[in-house]
Structure 1
Amino acid sequence: MLVSEEARKRVQDLKYGSNKPDPGDAARISKLEAKIAVATEEPEELQERSNWVPKFLSSIFSEVNECHFTTAIGFRYQFARGQP
């Protein structure tokens, strides 16, 4: 199998040539880096905005437990007095 001189030159360029991006690649890289920066900031912002959710759920859970406890005491009291 004969390899053309152009193919050999291309292989040499790929092996030993510089891998610097051309201006088009540099522009695409900068756009992607900007998108990555925005994408990493967005979850942090959402995390900050959603911090109230666990606190809210905890307060509701406490209220439900308190209500259940109060109701259970009331039922026990009624049962002890013989009231249905």
Structure 2
Amino acid sequence: MITKKILVTPGDGIGPEVTKQAIHVLKTVAPRFELQLELSEKPVGGVAYDLTGTPIPDETLEAAKNSDAVLLGAVGGPKWEPLDF
């Protein structure tokens, strides 16, 4: 069995709902392909900005670099449009 590290970044708006369903699909098909999934979650986008003052915190970036894949949900929304990066 092969282990794959997947970072889940749900994001904003509909992002958490969509990534939740994507995780469900991944968990359903993983045994068929003899995959062990190691899932972790970090904030990104507007939610991350509200928590840390940046849309991509260093912790999220490092976790992404140490993962085999990143599952990125939708990011942004009206609340964060006025922000200048």
Q: TM-score range by the shorter chain?
A: under 0.3
More helix by percentage: 1
Larger radius of gyration: 1
More strand by percentage: 2
